[in-house]
Amino acid sequence: MRIFLTAILIAFISFSGLAQTSSADPVDIHGWYGVGLGLDLKKKWTLGVDYQARFQNNLASYKGSYISLSASKGINKRVDLLAEYRLGLVQDAIFHRYSFGVQYEPKVSGVDLDFRLLILNNIQDFMDVTSATQNALFWRSRIKLGMKLNKEWQLYLATEPVMKVGGVRFVDNWRNTIGVKRKVSSSAKLDLFYMYRPDYAKVSYSRLFHVVGLNFDFATTLSKKKKRNRNSSGGPLR
């Protein structure tokens, strides 16, 4: 655990001299910090609300805020249907993102494994009334592996290519994540992660983002049955 936390600190120090991405310097450090609440309902329904603040330019400047409303419906013990609306309030623009997908969790002894497929429609409204609204369609496929270290700590790994329909390349960007979750109480977890995110959206050059994130996730239930794991089946589609 100490090795993982030390690695994140080294990443901060190693890239602290980098500037905002450009063709001459295409690397940047981002920070994603959020809090979320999940509500387990009856008949395998889960609702979630999430707030996330993001920083860029080596964490020196505020990028924007993202507010997500999500829902999931369990079809059976292994399959869930997912949906989410996310409002992005960033500099000079407002984003509306609608997401729909499915998640499958096979039974594997000793680990938590899931496969997720999403389709996303991203609408960008500019503050400048002379700029036309932009509409983009994406799809994402994620594989995530989790392993309990003890009663309080869990380690997880995930990889997720993001494809843009009609984009410059087949893969628009790729999210590779390592993280740890710390059980704070029976209804709260702390999620600390690092994401290695190459980005291929630019025509003339590729970018690379190092993302360090921290989330507090809270969960409660209205169902008398055992609480479901919102970090795999429900919650925001981060």
Residues 196-205 have a mean pLDDT of 93
d(CA 142, CA 154): 19
Q: Which domains does the chain have, with CATH numbers?
A: 2-221 (2.40.160.40)
Nearest by Cα to 230 from 75, 33, 36: 36
pTM for this prediction: 0.85
Q: Encode pLDDT of 27-54 as tens digits.
A: 999 999 999 999 999 889 999 999 999 9
- 3 vs 144: CA distance, rounded Å: 21
- Checking if the pLDDT of 2 tops 70, the result is no
Q: Are 233 and 47 in contact (CB under 8 A)?
A: no
Query: What is the tens place of the pLDDT at every residue in 141-182?
Result: 999 999 999 999 999 999 999 999 998 899 999 999 999 999
> What share of the chain has pLDDT > 90, as a percent?
73
Write the CB contacts of 201 (distance below 8 Å, at least 6 apart in sequence).
164, 167, 168, 172, 173, 207
Instruction: Name residue, tokens 């996330």.
Output: 52
The 3-state DSSP class for residue 52 equals strand
Estimate to the nearest angstrom the gap between the alpha carbon of 234 and the chain centroid: 12
Fill in the amino acid letter for 166.
Answer: G
Please check whether residue 235 is in contact with residue 38, taking contact to mean a CB–CB distance below 8 angstroms: yes
Please give the Cα distance from 96 to 14 (Å, whole number).
35
